[in-house]
Homo-oligomer: A and B are copies of this chain.
Amino acid sequence: MTDGVVERSRPRDRILETAQDMFHKHGIKGVGVDAITEAAGTNKMTLYRHFESKDELIIECLRATAAKTARIWDEFEARHPGDKLAQLHAWVQKASEMLSADCRGCDMANAAVELSETDHPARRVIKELKEAQREKLVALCRDAGVGQAELLADTLSLLLEGARVSMQSVGAEGPSAQFVRMAEGLIASFRSR
Protein backbone atom coordinates (compact mmCIF):
# COMPACT_ATOMS: atom_id res chain seq x y z
CA MET A 1 0.00 0.00 0.00
CA THR A 2 2.95 2.29 0.62
CA ASP A 3 4.24 4.07 -2.46
CA GLY A 4 7.34 3.21 -4.42
CA VAL A 5 10.51 4.14 -2.60
CA VAL A 6 12.01 6.38 -5.23
CA GLU A 7 9.44 7.48 -7.76
CA ARG A 8 6.68 8.20 -5.28
CA SER A 9 8.68 9.66 -2.44
CA ARG A 10 7.50 12.90 -0.94
CA PRO A 11 7.84 16.08 -2.96
CA ARG A 12 10.40 17.58 -0.62
CA ASP A 13 12.74 14.62 -1.03
CA ARG A 14 12.30 14.56 -4.79
CA ILE A 15 13.03 18.27 -5.02
CA LEU A 16 16.15 17.91 -2.87
CA GLU A 17 17.48 14.98 -4.85
CA THR A 18 16.68 16.53 -8.21
CA ALA A 19 18.21 19.85 -7.22
CA GLN A 20 21.41 18.15 -6.07
CA ASP A 21 21.69 16.39 -9.40
CA MET A 22 20.93 19.44 -11.53
CA PHE A 23 23.12 21.82 -9.52
CA HIS A 24 25.94 19.33 -9.90
CA LYS A 25 25.49 18.91 -13.64
CA HIS A 26 24.66 22.45 -14.72
CA GLY A 27 25.87 24.63 -11.87
CA ILE A 28 23.84 26.61 -9.40
CA LYS A 29 23.35 29.71 -11.51
CA GLY A 30 22.71 27.53 -14.52
CA VAL A 31 19.52 26.03 -13.11
CA GLY A 32 16.28 27.80 -12.27
CA VAL A 33 13.75 26.69 -9.72
CA ASP A 34 11.21 26.10 -12.48
CA ALA A 35 13.47 23.56 -14.13
CA ILE A 36 14.09 21.80 -10.82
CA THR A 37 10.44 21.46 -9.89
CA GLU A 38 9.49 20.30 -13.35
CA ALA A 39 12.21 17.64 -13.34
CA ALA A 40 11.09 16.61 -9.87
CA GLY A 41 7.55 16.17 -11.09
CA THR A 42 6.10 18.91 -8.95
CA ASN A 43 5.70 22.66 -9.05
CA LYS A 44 7.20 25.89 -7.81
CA MET A 45 4.70 26.57 -5.04
CA THR A 46 5.48 23.24 -3.42
CA LEU A 47 9.16 24.03 -3.51
CA TYR A 48 8.62 27.34 -1.77
CA ARG A 49 6.44 25.68 0.86
CA HIS A 50 9.41 23.48 1.85
CA PHE A 51 12.32 25.86 1.26
CA GLU A 52 12.08 29.52 2.04
CA SER A 53 14.30 30.52 -0.88
CA LYS A 54 16.59 29.17 -3.56
CA ASP A 55 19.56 29.99 -1.32
CA GLU A 56 18.08 27.81 1.40
CA LEU A 57 17.62 25.00 -1.11
CA ILE A 58 21.24 25.36 -2.18
CA ILE A 59 22.38 25.03 1.43
CA GLU A 60 20.24 21.96 2.02
CA CYS A 61 21.69 20.39 -1.14
CA LEU A 62 25.23 21.00 0.07
CA ARG A 63 24.43 19.44 3.43
CA ALA A 64 22.91 16.42 1.70
CA THR A 65 25.97 16.01 -0.50
CA ALA A 66 28.23 16.19 2.53
CA ALA A 67 26.10 13.56 4.23
CA LYS A 68 26.54 11.26 1.23
CA THR A 69 30.30 11.74 1.45
CA ALA A 70 30.21 10.90 5.14
CA ARG A 71 28.49 7.64 4.27
CA ILE A 72 31.44 6.76 2.03
CA TRP A 73 33.76 7.21 4.98
CA ASP A 74 31.61 4.82 6.99
CA GLU A 75 32.12 2.36 4.19
CA PHE A 76 35.89 2.60 4.61
CA GLU A 77 35.57 1.79 8.29
CA ALA A 78 33.19 -1.08 7.58
CA ARG A 79 35.40 -2.59 4.92
CA HIS A 80 38.69 -2.20 6.82
CA PRO A 81 37.69 -2.13 10.48
CA GLY A 82 40.45 -0.63 12.58
CA ASP A 83 42.98 -0.69 9.74
CA LYS A 84 43.46 3.03 9.22
CA LEU A 85 46.22 2.66 6.67
CA ALA A 86 44.03 0.46 4.51
CA GLN A 87 41.29 3.06 4.88
CA LEU A 88 43.67 5.75 3.65
CA HIS A 89 44.48 3.68 0.58
CA ALA A 90 40.76 3.15 0.08
CA TRP A 91 40.31 6.92 0.22
CA VAL A 92 42.86 7.34 -2.58
CA GLN A 93 41.15 4.65 -4.59
CA LYS A 94 37.71 6.16 -4.09
CA ALA A 95 38.99 9.62 -4.91
CA SER A 96 40.49 8.43 -8.18
CA GLU A 97 37.21 6.80 -9.11
CA MET A 98 35.50 10.15 -8.82
CA LEU A 99 37.82 11.50 -11.52
CA SER A 100 35.84 9.92 -14.31
CA ALA A 101 35.59 11.45 -17.75
CA ASP A 102 32.50 13.52 -17.16
CA CYS A 103 33.53 14.65 -13.70
CA ARG A 104 32.00 17.94 -12.73
CA GLY A 105 34.10 18.41 -9.61
CA CYS A 106 33.24 19.00 -5.99
CA ASP A 107 29.83 20.56 -5.44
CA MET A 108 31.03 22.64 -2.53
CA ALA A 109 34.09 23.97 -4.33
CA ASN A 110 32.02 24.69 -7.41
CA ALA A 111 29.44 26.50 -5.31
CA ALA A 112 32.17 28.61 -3.72
CA VAL A 113 33.35 29.59 -7.19
CA GLU A 114 29.88 30.41 -8.43
CA LEU A 115 28.65 32.26 -5.35
CA SER A 116 31.19 35.04 -5.40
CA GLU A 117 29.31 37.30 -3.01
CA THR A 118 31.39 37.13 0.15
CA ASP A 119 28.34 37.32 2.40
CA HIS A 120 26.34 34.63 0.66
CA PRO A 121 24.71 32.42 3.30
CA ALA A 122 25.99 29.26 1.62
CA ARG A 123 29.61 30.32 2.15
CA ARG A 124 29.48 29.73 5.90
CA VAL A 125 28.09 26.25 5.34
CA ILE A 126 30.67 25.41 2.70
CA LYS A 127 33.49 26.42 5.02
CA GLU A 128 32.07 24.39 7.91
CA LEU A 129 31.58 21.26 5.83
CA LYS A 130 34.99 21.52 4.19
CA GLU A 131 36.70 22.03 7.53
CA ALA A 132 34.95 18.96 8.92
CA GLN A 133 36.15 16.91 5.97
CA ARG A 134 39.67 18.21 6.47
CA GLU A 135 39.69 17.19 10.12
CA LYS A 136 38.50 13.73 9.19
CA LEU A 137 41.34 13.27 6.73
CA VAL A 138 43.89 14.60 9.22
CA ALA A 139 42.62 12.15 11.83
CA LEU A 140 42.82 9.31 9.33
CA CYS A 141 46.41 10.14 8.45
CA ARG A 142 47.37 10.46 12.11
CA ASP A 143 45.70 7.19 13.07
CA ALA A 144 47.42 5.52 10.14
CA GLY A 145 50.67 6.29 11.91
CA VAL A 146 51.97 8.90 9.52
CA GLY A 147 54.30 11.59 10.79
CA GLN A 148 53.24 15.14 9.92
CA ALA A 149 49.68 13.95 9.46
CA GLU A 150 48.34 17.48 8.94
CA LEU A 151 50.77 18.18 6.14
CA LEU A 152 50.03 14.91 4.37
CA ALA A 153 46.29 15.40 4.73
CA ASP A 154 46.46 18.94 3.41
CA THR A 155 48.64 17.90 0.51
CA LEU A 156 46.29 15.10 -0.43
CA SER A 157 43.39 17.53 -0.10
CA LEU A 158 44.92 20.02 -2.47
CA LEU A 159 45.87 17.30 -4.93
CA LEU A 160 42.31 15.99 -5.07
CA GLU A 161 40.78 19.44 -5.19
CA GLY A 162 43.19 20.35 -7.99
CA ALA A 163 42.52 17.15 -9.88
CA ARG A 164 38.78 17.72 -9.77
CA VAL A 165 39.01 21.23 -11.09
CA SER A 166 41.74 20.39 -13.59
CA MET A 167 39.50 17.76 -15.14
CA GLN A 168 37.00 20.42 -15.99
CA SER A 169 39.50 22.62 -17.79
CA VAL A 170 41.79 20.15 -19.54
CA GLY A 171 39.93 16.88 -19.31
CA ALA A 172 40.70 13.43 -17.94
CA GLU A 173 43.96 13.09 -19.86
CA GLY A 174 45.51 16.06 -18.09
CA PRO A 175 47.52 16.15 -14.87
CA SER A 176 44.68 14.52 -12.94
CA ALA A 177 45.39 11.23 -14.71
CA GLN A 178 48.41 10.81 -12.43
CA PHE A 179 46.48 11.37 -9.21
CA VAL A 180 46.85 7.86 -7.79
CA ARG A 181 50.57 7.76 -8.49
CA MET A 182 51.05 11.14 -6.83
CA ALA A 183 48.95 10.30 -3.78
CA GLU A 184 50.47 6.87 -3.21
CA GLY A 185 53.96 8.29 -3.70
CA LEU A 186 53.23 10.93 -1.09
CA ILE A 187 51.89 8.44 1.42
CA ALA A 188 54.90 6.20 0.96
CA SER A 189 57.23 9.15 1.29
CA PHE A 190 55.58 10.40 4.49
CA ARG A 191 55.54 6.92 6.01
CA SER A 192 59.24 6.29 5.43
CA ARG A 193 60.10 9.48 7.24
Contacts and interface: CB of A to CB of B under 8 A. Distances in A.
A24 to B, nearest CB: 9
A2 interface: no
Contacts of A131: 170, 174
B162 A175 contact: no
A114 B169 contact: no
Determine chain A's interface SS by DSSP, over half rule: helix
A158 to B, nearest CB: 3
Closest 8 CB pairs of A and B: A162-B162, A158-B162, A154-B175, A161-B162, A112-B169, A112-B168, A29-B29, A27-B116
Interface of A: 25-27, 29-30, 104-105, 108-110, 112-114, 116-117, 126-127, 130-131, 134, 151, 153-155, 157-163, 165-166, 168-171, 174-176, 178-179, 181-182, 189
A158 B130 contact: no
